Amino acid sequence: MTQYPRVFKSASAFASHIHDLHKEMSKKIQENNVQYKFYADLHHRHLEFNEGDYVMILIRPERFPPGVVKKLTAHSAGPFKILKKINPNAYVIDLPPGLGLVRHLIYQTW
C-alpha cells in the first residue's frame, strides 16, 4: 500500500462543486435577507415618545404576577404618563400600584 491515499478526480470535482454551491446559496440568502429587510423597513413606523406624553401599554398575561391579569382582560391599558425617557426604546411609566408590577420600566417591542 502507498503512503498517500488516492484521490479520485470525480470525488474531488463533486466536493468542489458542492463547496461552490454552498457559497452561492449563502450569498443568495444574504442578498434576499437584505431585500426582505428593505421592504419590511418601508412599512415600519418608528415611534418615539417624550416625557409627559401619555401612552397605552400592551398587557400580556405571562408578564404579570399570577391572578393580576386574566385571559379575557383588555389587551391594552392606559393611558399612562411617561415619567422618564431612558433611550428611544425604553421609558419609565407611571403605573398604578394595583397593577401588581414590580418594575415600571417599559420597553417598546415594535
Q: What is the pLDDT of residues 30-88, one digit of tens each?
A: 999 999 999 998 888 888 899 999 988 877 777 666 776 676 666 667 788 999 999 88
Q: What is the pLDDT of residues 13-36, one digit of tens each?
A: 899 999 999 999 999 999 999 999
d(CA 68, CA 2): 76
pTM of the model: 0.50
Q: Are 70 and 60 in contact (CB under 8 A)?
A: no
Q: In Å, how far are 27, 31, 65 from 17, measured between CA atoms?
A: 15, 21, 56
Q: Are 90 and 59 in contact (CB under 8 A)?
A: no
Q: Where are the alpha helices (DSSP H) in the chain?
A: 9-42
